[in-house]
Structure 1
């Protein structure tokens, strides 16, 4: 299942596809215009998202395995890639978030990895 969302540079959701709505359990109206961290699972460390914003604002592509929260309190795992859209050297569109989702405990043997405040990789115990 491929989930797609876009945000502005303040992290407000501007678009979600049908699959995103379906797996999250939130409606279009509950998601759009709201902070993307609405779906952040409490097991995900804030340092991971700090690194995400640093990476895309610097023109990079951020790719990590993570855990999101559903409206009903359940969760899903996602293999996420986040980037901005460019024309030459100029950002012309908002960040695009592509997620390949795995429901419940199906992590396919992988643990999420985040960046601590010093920029070194570390495993996150979940």
Structure 2
């Protein structure tokens, strides 16, 4: 859970409370590492996977609704650009996206945008 806590704007205690709620709701389950009992892995249950799919589908539908105002040619262009971006992210070492030592921007230390 420490890895998740480092990636989200929650304290370790806050993350534990959220995980407790998700587990009580049947959306995740905890699994302790057999070799190192300090390590706790969180896994989505079938219900959690179903909810994640429904949320993703609803979000995608909302995104398409927002794009409806664009002309079809611009929709296709945006779709191609986002596809390229997705492929680029797939081919990128995740540490470069999340580890400040690898060049990622620490959002807690990032300068405010200049107007």
The TM-score range, normalised by the shorter chain, is under 0.3
**Larger Rg computed on CA atoms:** 2
Normalised by the length of structure 1, the TM-score is 0.19
**Bigger fraction of residues in helix:** 2
Normalised by the length of structure 2, the TM-score is 0.20
Higher relative contact order (CA 8 A, sep 6+): 1
